[in-house]
Amino acid sequence: MKFFQTFSNRFNTLPSVIRAGFWITCAGTCFTGMMTVARTLSPELSILVVVFFRATFGLMFLLPTALSNNGARLRTKKFPLFAVRGISAYLSVTFFFLAATFIPLGDIAAIGFTRPVFACIAAILILEELARTRRW
């Protein structure tokens, strides 16, 4: 346990740019590993089974954080929106893994770069955001 405390203390003294680079590298590595596993398992298992195991492993990593402070992080006053977000995430991962079985990963990455454009359009339509030319 002392090792983790020492590592955490030293890590927090690093410049924020270095820490951000570390976390981005970790996220990219995990994402690549997840896509590799999904693509490898999809011919033998149903996509829904692959999504289930992805959610199970994700839950194993996030549960200690979520349950700290007596589960205060899990309490919400807007449960319907929370449920919509969960269903949207489930469908997103399911279709993403399904696409990974049929489309080359480079094409999936290229399509993924269009997310900010779609997010901006959704913010204009749903949240009634003002989008001036500077934002585009």
Q: What is the pLDDT of residues 94-105, one digit of tens each?
A: 998 888 888 887
Residue 135's pLDDT is 62
pLDDT digits (tens, 9 = 90+) for 5-15: 788 888 889 89
Stretch 51-70: mean pLDDT: 86
Mean pLDDT over the full length of the chain? 86
| Residue 122 to residue 128: CA distance in whole angstroms | 9
pTM of the model: 0.69
- What is the separation of C-alpha 90 from the centre of its chain, rounded to a whole number of angstroms? 11
Whether the per-residue pLDDT at 106 is higher than 70: the answer is yes
Average pLDDT over residues 37-55: 89
Torsion, Cα 12 25 116 92, to 10 degrees, reads -110
Overall average pLDDT of the 69-78 stretch: 78
Whether 73 contacts 65, CB under 8 Å: yes
Q: Say if CB 92 and CB 34 are below 8 A apart.
A: no
For residue 17, the model assigns a pLDDT of 94
Is residue 48 predicted with pLDDT exceeding 80? Answer: yes
Span 87-98, mean pLDDT? 91
Report the alpha-carbon distance of residue 107 to residue 101 in Å, rounded.
12
